[in-house]
Amino acid sequence: MLIGMAMDDGYISSLDDPVTGYLPELLKVDPRYQNITLEHLLAMKSGIAFKDTDIPWHDKSRAYYHPHLRDVVVHLPIAEAPGERFVYNTFNPIILGIVLERATGQSVAQYFEARFWQRLGMEFEASWSLDSEEDGMAKMESGLNARAIDFAKIGRLLLNHGNWNGEQVTSRAWIDASMKIDPANNVPRIGKNIYYQHGWWIYAPSEKYKYTVSGWGHLGQYLFIFPNENMLVLRFGKKIGKVDSWHQIAQEIVDRVINERGRSTGRSSNNYVCICHKVFRKTCAKC
């Protein structure tokens, strides 16, 4: 979403910009970097080499633990031509973080706070995990730490097509492009009805799932956005839990809320309806 905002602000001209326009040093690693665009990075089709395993010396661990990420990502080899194949590569968002730094002249955290966090009137402070105190590079692949209610506001922003209480925080065109089902971004090895668009996992309508825009986090953090129902379900936890599909549970919640709306107004606060007892047969402080 920050890339879209940087485009709105004129810092980035187009997703077709080659990454070497922002990181020219990549040309010294491999001249083929000039063929990699910002769109390729967003779509996880950069072609940059990446081994997605938990082995300590492989790329996934380097991206998560290395204290000098700026140095790491400007020395990566290219494995294949960009645009040909989806490979989830956590180096891609880190490179986009450097693009943001150089385009805006600010750290990612500074730009994010002023351009996004404050404008949505978030209820709690948040933080970015950094690669190290020395380098201070925001961990773009995993590093945003915030309360559940504020992540829910991000979902609401998408439901409102980038508009927050009358202010267009990010362009409708960017949000709509992020939520669309693009055949070019289908990820059949994950699922025949699953797409990856601008950092979001998109589920096309099927017998199993509703049309859903979702964000997945570490240890079972999930944001499920249901545009057709104008609803979202957020799941936070310390473990993923013994659950076959949080997505299916989210859909059940949506269906039950819709049914309950037809029978009772329930209790609401700030447009959020607490349904703990109705769905889980438990109560919380708001029930």
Write the pLDDT tens digit of every residue in 186-198. Answer: 999 888 999 999 9
The 10s digit of each residue's pLDDT in 45-98 is 999 999 887 777 789 899 999 999 999 999 999 999 999 999 999 999 999 999
Residue 260: the pLDDT is 85
Q: How far is CA 284 from the centre of its chain?
A: 29
Taking alpha carbons only, the member of 146, 179, 220 closest to residue 4 is: 179
Copy the structure tokens of residue 262: 């037809």
Q: What are the residue boundaries of the structural domains of the chain, listed by start?
A: 2-145, 177-280
> What distances in angstroms separate CA 175 from CA 35, 172, 207, 255, one per listed residue?
26, 5, 26, 25
* CA pair distance 177, 182, nearest whole angstrom: 9
* Alpha-carbon torsion (178, 184, 185, 190), positive or negative: positive
**Above 50 in pLDDT, residue 278?**
no
Structure-token match 């194949």, residue found = 85
pLDDT of residue 138 exceeding 60: yes
Mean pLDDT rounded to a whole number for the chain: 91
Amino acid 58: pLDDT: 85
Confidence bin at 283 (pLDDT 50/70/90)? low
Cα dihedral sign for 148, 149, 154, 155? Answer: positive
Q: How far is CA 213 from CA 50, 116, 223, 228, in A?
A: 26, 20, 8, 11
> Bigger pLDDT: 222 or 270?
222
Those residues with Cβ within 8 angstroms of residue 100's Cβ, 6 or more apart along the chain or in another chain: 2, 3, 6, 11, 108, 111
pLDDT band at 241 (very low <50, low <70, confident <90, very high): confident
CATH fourth-level superfamily of 2-145: DD-peptidase/beta-lactamase superfamily (3.40.710.10)
Return the higher-pLDDT residue of 172 and 281.
172
Identify the pLDDT of residue 282: 52
**Strand 212-217 vs strand 221-226: parallel, antiparallel, or unpaired?**
antiparallel
Q: What mean pLDDT comes out for the span 162-178?
A: 97
Smallest CA-to-CA distance from 98 within 90, 88, 108 is with: 108
